[in-house]
Amino acid sequence: MTAIWLVALAALLIGLVAYVQARRTARQLAQLTEMYWQLKFDHGELKARVAPATPPAPEPKQTFVPLTRLRRPSPPAAAGQAPTAAGSTDER
């Protein structure tokens, strides 16, 4: 009977030690997490202070391009064939 009590007491002590260790580890994890986020926030602030935002890109110029410049040149007409009109249904 005393052996059962000894085993139960040893299991209780081991459980208490594990519980204390788990609480200590959880507290350390909370501190590390808080330090990580604080460091990340500070890094962002320092980065913004050292390298200011780049100026916006200038607006692209709007220029007029006639449609004749965009049209592909037609192939030269073979001898004996009449040139086709630009806009015929063959080219569409």
Is residue 44 within 8 A of residue 38, CB to CB? The reply is: no
pLDDT at 83: 58
Give the whole-angstrom CA distance, residue 34 versus residue 36. 5
Q: Give the chain's length.
A: 92
**Is the overall model pTM greater than 0.85, yes or no?**
no
Q: Residue written as tokens 């002590």?
A: 13
Is residue 74 within 8 A of residue 86, CB to CB? The reply is: yes
Give me the mean pLDDT over the 62-91 stretch. Answer: 65
Between 3 and 59, residue with greater pLDDT: 3
Give the whole-angstrom CA distance, residue 40 versus residue 19. 32
Query: Where are the chain's structural domains?
Result: 25-50
What pLDDT, in 10s, does the model give residues 35-50? 999 999 999 999 888 8
